[in-house]
């Protein structure tokens, strides 16, 4: 789902290869579009959080590895 807003007075939704003038869509459809945008934003945020957690886990594992080497 892409929302092209080259003309802010007539925003266009591109969905599954078709384009729609958002101003001509029903309020129910507009609410669905907003819901999808929110879901996509939340997914991106959680994907970024997972990346940070993975980096942190790897860093902590490397620290532990180095500390355990000192015991050998």
Q: What is the DSSP letter of 72?
A: -
Domain, as residue range, for 29: 2-71
Token pair for 20: 């729609």
In tens digits, what is the pLDDT along the chain, a chain of 72 residues?
665 545 678 899 999 999 999 999 999 999 999 999 999 999 999 999 999 999 999 999 999 999 999 998
Q: For position 72, what pLDDT does the model report?
A: 85
Domain count of the chain?
1
Question: Measuring CA to CA, which residue among 18, 19, 25, 22 is closest to residue 8?
Answer: 22
What is the CB-side half-sphere exposure of residue 51 using CA atoms within 13 A? 6
Q: Is 21 helix (H, G, I), strand (E, B) or coil?
A: strand
Q: How far apart (Å, rounded) are the C-alpha atoms in residues 71 and 61?
A: 16
Q: pTM score, two decimals?
A: 0.69
pLDDT, position 71: 93
């Amino acid at each position: 789902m892409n929302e092209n807003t080259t003309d802010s007075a007539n925003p266009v939704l591109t969905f599954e290869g078709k384009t729609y003038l958002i101003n001509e869509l029903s309020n129910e459809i507009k609410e669905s579009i907003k819901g999808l945008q929110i879901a996509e934003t939340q997914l991106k945020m959680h994907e970024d959080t997972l990346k940070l957690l993975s980096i942190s886990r790897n860093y902590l594992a490397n620290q532990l590895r180095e500390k355990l080497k000192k015991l050998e």
